[in-house]
Amino acid sequence: MVFLMQGPSTGNTLPPACTLLSVGQAFAGTQNVSSLQKDEAWRVNVRIQGCDLDHGYLCGTMEALNVPMADTPVVTFWEGEIVDTKNYTFFTGKWEATPDDDIRHWSKFPSFSALLSQVEVDGGKSLDLSNYPHIFMRWKEQYFVNVGVDCGLTIAGFYYVCFSFSDGSINGFYYDPNSSDESVLHRTCSPFQKLELKSTNEGRSGFSFSSYQLQ
Amino acid sequence: MPVSSSSSSQSQDLISKLTSTDPQLKLKALRAIKNQIIGNKTKKLSYINLGIVPPIVQILGSSSSDSSLIVNSAAAIGSFACGVDVGVKAVLDCGAYQYLIQTLSSEDEKIYDYNWARGSFIKLEILGFDYDMERGVVLVKLELGFDYNLVVDAGARALRMIFQSKFAPKYDFVNEKSINFLFSLLNNENENIAELGACIITHSCETSTEQKALCEAGVLQRLTTLLGGSLNQRDASLESLAVILKNNMDTVAKFVTVDSGKVLSAITELTKDRFPRTRLLACICLIGIGQISPCFMEDMRIKTKLVLILVELLEEPDRVGDETPFVLADLVTTKEDLQKIAFDSNALDKLCICLCKSPINPKRTEGILLALAELCSKLEICRSRFLSLQVLNMVTDALKHDLSEVRIAACICIRSVTRSVKSLSAGRFMNEMPVTTLVQLLHDSFITVQVAALGAISNIVVDFTTHKSIFIECGGVTQLVELSKSMDSTLRLNSVWALRNLMFLAGNNFKEGILEELTASTLASLICDPEPPIQEQALALLRNLVDGCGDSINHVFVEDGLVIGAVGRQVWSASESEVCVQGMFALANLAAGSEVHKEVVMHCLLPPQAGGCTQSVIIKFLQANDSRLRTASIWCVVNLSYRGCFDSYSRIERLRTAGIVSQIKTMVNDPCLDVKYRVRTALEQCMACDNST
């Protein structure tokens, strides 16, 4: 169910906090890289390192394993914009992404369909997502953590991401305007790149949660 | 301060002249001293140590002193007090204050009598006669050969110097006598005396009751009149107005209506004055009003204007330049929009340039560091810019400054900058920051410095890389553990906080190393500390310790389960939500462990001594208003009923018997999405278990 805000917002319309998307949480899964030549699936681990819902900010690291041509796992640091309609809307407004690009990518998430018509009007500015069971984000890799920029990979694009409250899963689609196609961590030009992650309990018989508090 | 033999003989010579019976010799000595100490702090301190101040004060108070001696002694006393706290103490200790106050009323009849009694008149001139019929006497009007104007001016100036210092005596403005005295000054035609009145307000007015008392006595109207006076009167008036208005809704409300708001416009106009100090003081007044009455600051143009004026004033020399960073810090504190405006106005770059200028006085260094701290407190764009300007080394140098205020300001600045998760993730601070210097500050003789250093350390140790070991190697953990046992609760709180952050996502060996130093018994004591914030941080520390897959979880069970016993006691007895949240997350993390760990948690939440008669504490938490507490509690249930565990069925049955399953069934539509979906997970697990049996 989607709610539209009636007039100016007076209450809290920010996405709710979710323990599975809090600092320290780990996700594991794959990144499917499909091209005309071949299909590849890289194992990917993600760790959330920072979360500031007031500013619609999330950040963490992404580790890609068995990346062809890379000797070691490649770790990047990414920063996320949470689509909360206060700090960020569904329209990216930068990174060379047009509203059409945005809608095309968001529409790949089934959970977005209920929002589509309003997003087409105003980018979702008037939507109240505070009780919506999915959190939409854009993740932009900022730098390589463990390899140099000359590693032959590019992080020029960004991910459209959707997190599900119900099972803690994360799905993402990569967009790279500089590529004739869209590429990921990003060895080749590939038409379709999908990130599929699941919240992981790292081998424990349940879920556990670390936390820190900055002063 | 050591005194050389030549200084000693010089002082003896000066003291003998000052105590001579020859007024000319005294005057000569006074003038010589006065000229030598003006603007020369070293000379002032040297003379103070040589014992020059008492004979000067004696001259001021002597009945045989003529006006020249009084004027020069008052001037010398003012000079000793100017900008040197030791000087203020020295003159006050000799009783100069009362003598100076007496000089103010020299034109008063009483003082005529007083001075007459002291026989200080040198020349009398008869100006005229009058006749009192009732008393049958002839009154004679006299011009006295005692230059009262000069005496009053010198006395008022000296007192103004004294009132710049925190050591000056305070007036209690709730007392009617003080208010009457104050008005006798403020209403005085002599501008130095009126200015002194304003200075006394600035120095003495501290409480909201005093602010209100001054306001009700009509001080605001009088001060606004002084705004139209001389430059000094105007500045003194602005300064005292700022003090009366600070953080006081009542006085601000009254002030903005004075003269139908024209005064407010006049102050706004003074922000454009050609004198930098006037501009600064006008800004301080407006900031004070804006902090109480945000509608005044709503106008973007006013905000931008204030920021631009202050940024420009940063480059001023002397007092204005020294005070401006503090005012800028005050303006932008906690206000993200103003921090952004300041950033766009190049404030951050200018502050960094000022910091790099050499030499720079400690007051200004402190102010710049605090302003940088405020600017970097919320916005990543500011932190990022700060780091790119390569001034971190300068801030690090300030950590070693002689003055504790500067060391504290440097720590606060680092604390703000290290809120950058992006930089923490890159391991930037543990690599580049002289962590060792911060750790050394944990031994500082000032608790305030230790606390400030702990604030910066708490952030730095979050470090997401593998560099946490650097902190151990420089003795950081040992010192944190030591401070966690301090008698001072602020030190305990901040050191446990730092240990909690250090423990975040740390490797198993590292965690075990920390616990070995901390010991289970200290951890248990901290969990049961009398201060709830310390309990909260200690439980959060435990939560991080037992997170992950390592063996560190087993260390919690040593010493007959001392730690787990402490957790159990807290979750059952604590009244603060924050403490319970951390306690329940610690238990949830333990419940993600082995069968043994899950059973320990069951024992904690459903103790046998409750005998099934007492409702489990977890039901109370699941019904709590605080969604964080419901979230932590439902995670506990999820982990206790986790699929595939050997004894899940038994545990679910016990949870059911305790009424916990019934409780979570009522929560399937919890208003908090996080709780709602985890309730579903828990119920699915319970049902799956039912189906499998």
Percent share of chain B, pLDDT over 70: 90
Query: Would you state the structure tokens that stand for residue B496, as one six-digit string?
Result: 């446990």
Residue A142 inside a domain? The answer is yes
- Alpha-carbon distance of B257 to B71, in angstroms, equals 42
Residue A47 has pLDDT above 70, yes or no: yes
DSSP summary character for residue A170: E
Residue B117 has pLDDT above 50, yes or no: no
Cβ(B552)–Cβ(B594) under 8 Å? no
- What sign does the CA torsion over B474, B475, B481, B482 have? negative
DSSP summary character for residue B260: G
Query: Would you state the structure tokens that stand for residue B231, as one six-digit string?
Result: 């430059």
What is the residue whose two structure tokens read 């309003």?
Answer: A118
Q: Model pTM greater than 0.90?
A: no
The predicted structure's pLDDT at residue B1: 47
Residue B549 has pLDDT above 70, yes or no: yes
The predicted structure's pLDDT at residue B532: 97
B450/A contact by beta carbon, under 8 A: no
Residue B427 has pLDDT above 90, yes or no: no
| pLDDT tens per residue, range A160-187 | 999 999 999 999 999 988 765 444 455 4
Query: Would you state the structure tokens that stand for residue B229, as one six-digit string?
Result: 């006076």
Percent share of chain B, pLDDT over 90: 68
Per-residue pLDDT band at B111 (split at 50, 70, 90) = very low
Residue B389 has pLDDT above 60, yes or no: yes
Please compute the mean of the pLDDT values over residues B468-477 and round it to a whole number: 88
Closest Cα in chain B, distance from residue A132 (Å)? 8
Range of the domain at A22: 13-199
Please compute the mean of the pLDDT values over residues A106-121 and round it to a whole number: 95
Nearest to B417 by CA among B392, B453, B450, B449: B392
Residue A189 inside a domain? The answer is yes
Per-residue pLDDT band at A115 (split at 50, 70, 90) = very high
The predicted structure's pLDDT at residue B552: 73
Nearest to B81 by CA among B44, B32, B31: B44
Please compute the mean of the pLDDT values over residues B260-267 and round it to a whole number: 87
Residue B689 has pLDDT above 80, yes or no: no
- Alpha-carbon distance of B207 to B189, in angstroms, equals 29
If phi > 0 it is left, if psi is from -120 to 50 it is alpha, else beta; for residue A2 that is: beta
- Alpha-carbon distance of B616 to B651, in angstroms, equals 14
User: Could you give the number of structural domains in chain A?
Assistant: 1
Which residue segments constitute the domains of chain B, with CATH numbers given? 5-107+147-169 (1.25.10.10), 623-693 (no CATH)
Judge: A145–B426 Cβ closer than 8 Å, yes or no. Answer: yes
What is the residue whose two structure tokens read 């070293």?
Answer: B42
Residue to substitute from B637, B640, B673, interface A, most A β-carbons within 10 A? B673
Residue A206 inside a domain? The answer is no
The predicted structure's pLDDT at residue A151: 77
- Alpha-carbon distance of B344 to B338, in angstroms, equals 10
Residue B80 has pLDDT above 80, yes or no: yes
CA distances from B375 to B151, B262, B310, B368 (A): 48, 33, 14, 10
Stronger pLDDT, B125 or B431, i.e. the higher one: B431
Would you give the distance in Å from CA B105 to the centre of its chain?
39
CA distances from B353 to A182, B71, B328, B347, B418 (A): 44, 44, 16, 10, 21
* Alpha-carbon torsion angle B80, B85, B88, B89, nearest 10: -130
Query: HSE-up of B77 (CA within 13 Å, CB side)?
Result: 36
Residue A207 inside a domain? The answer is no
Question: Which residues of chain A lie closer than 8 angstroms to B549, CB-CB?
Answer: 202-204
Residue A1 inside a domain? The answer is no
A77/B contact by beta carbon, under 8 A: yes
- Among A9-23, B79-93, B585-599, the least confident range: A9-23
Residue A79 inside a domain? The answer is yes
Residue B60 has pLDDT above 80, yes or no: yes
Stronger pLDDT, B518 or B299, i.e. the higher one: B518
Report the first-to-last Cα separation within chain A, whole angstroms: 38
The interface residues of chain B toward chain A in range 566-595, judged by CB-CB distance below 8 A, are 585, 588-589, 591-594
Q: Which residue of A has its CA nearest to B590?
A: A208
Question: Which residues of chain A lie closer than 8 angstroms to B456, CB-CB?
Answer: 215
Q: Please name the residues in contact with A213: beta carbons below 8 A apart, sequence gap of 6 or more.
A: B458, B497, B500, B501, B540
What is the residue whose two structure tokens read 């005692």?
Answer: B146
A211 vs B415, B544, B593: nearest CB: B544
| pLDDT tens per residue, range B141-163 | 444 455 677 888 999 999 999 99
Query: Would you state the structure tokens that stand for residue B431, as one six-digit string?
Result: 């690599």
- Alpha-carbon distance of B17 to B57, in angstroms, equals 14
The predicted structure's pLDDT at residue A6: 46
Most confidently modeled range among A46-55, B527-536, B654-663: B527-536
The predicted structure's pLDDT at residue B304: 93
Residue A210 inside a domain? The answer is no
The predicted structure's pLDDT at residue A186: 53
- Alpha-carbon distance of B370 to B363, in angstroms, equals 11
The predicted structure's pLDDT at residue B147: 65
| pLDDT tens per residue, range B178-211 | 999 999 999 988 889 999 999 999 999 999 999 9
Query: Would you state the structure tokens that stand for residue B77, as one six-digit string?
Result: 């006393």
CA distances from A106 to A88, B40, B64, B301 (A): 14, 71, 94, 39
The predicted structure's pLDDT at residue B134: 55
A206 vs B497, B591, B672: nearest CB: B591
Judge: B677–A165 Cβ closer than 8 Å, yes or no. Answer: yes
Cβ(B449)–Cβ(B441) under 8 Å? yes
- Among A94-98, B211-215, B422-426, the least confident range: B422-426
| pLDDT tens per residue, range B324-359 | 999 999 999 999 999 999 999 999 999 999 999 988
Residue type, B120: S
Average pLDDT, chain B: 88
B589 vs A18, A47, A209: nearest CB: A209
Q: Please name the residues in contact with B238: beta carbons below 8 A apart, sequence gap of 6 or more.
A: B227, B267, B270, B278, B281, B282, B284, B285
- What sign does the CA torsion over B23, B28, B31, B33 have? negative
Which CATH number characterizes residue A134's domain?
2.40.128
Cβ(B585)–Cβ(B598) under 8 Å? no
Instruction: Please provide the size of chain B in residues.
Output: 693
Cβ(B23)–Cβ(B71) under 8 Å? no
Would you give the distance in Å from CA A182 to the centre of its chain?
15
Closest Cα in chain B, distance from residue A207 (Å)? 6
Query: HSE-up of B549 (CA within 13 Å, CB side)?
Result: 7
Residue B557 has pLDDT above 60, yes or no: yes
Residue A109 inside a domain? The answer is yes
Nearest to B209 by CA among B247, B242, B239, B169: B247
Residue B119 has pLDDT above 60, yes or no: no
